[in-house]
Amino acid sequence: MSQDQSAHLLCHRCGRELTPGRGEWYIVRIEAFADPSPPILDEELARGGAGISKRIDELLAKMSDMTQRELMDQIYRRLTMHLCVTCYNDWIENPAGDDPKVKK
Ligand SMILES: [Zn+2]
């Protein structure tokens, strides 16, 4: 990487400029995969009932409205973030964040 490309690195959280070579920031890589287990078949599907082709049609109709990118995003996502030391220290203590819906 040339100095030029890395000259404008910004912290993804606070926007602070990050200077390469000073050991003052982190690269954080996140990979997220959808549950890779085989799907649980409900009773109707397991019996091979007449509803299957209807269900497949519904699924295909739903998918036809989505772009390839949207479909991929449902299965796999990878992101890279740059974080300054301060933001990194906050984030690494609680990487999943707090769910505001869960009352403590
Ligand atoms: Zn920051």
CA of 19 from ligand 1 middle (Å) equals 12
Which residue has tokens 């690494």?
Answer: 92
CA of 21 from ligand 1 middle (Å) equals 16
Residues by chain with Cβ below 5 Å of ion ligand 1: 11, 13-14, 16, 84, 87
Q: Tell me how many domains the chain contains.
A: 1
Q: Would 21 be classed as within a structural domain?
A: yes
Task: Kindly provide the b/e burial profile for residues 23-44, where b requires at least 16 CB atoms within 10 angstroms of the residue's own CB.
Answer: eebbebeeeeeeeeeeeeeeee
Residues contacting residue 13 through CB under 8 Å, at least 6 positions apart: 81, 83, 84, 87, 90, 91
DSSP-derived 3-state class of residue 35: coil
Q: Would 66 be classed as within a structural domain?
A: yes
Q: Would 12 be classed as within a structural domain?
A: yes
| pTM of this structure | 0.65
Q: Would 98 be classed as within a structural domain?
A: no
pLDDT tens column, 28-75: 999 999 998 988 877 767 776 667 788 888 888 988 889 988 988 889
Domain that holds residue 31: 3-93
According to the model, what pLDDT value does residue 3 have? Answer: 46
- Cβ(18)–Cβ(84) under 8 Å? yes
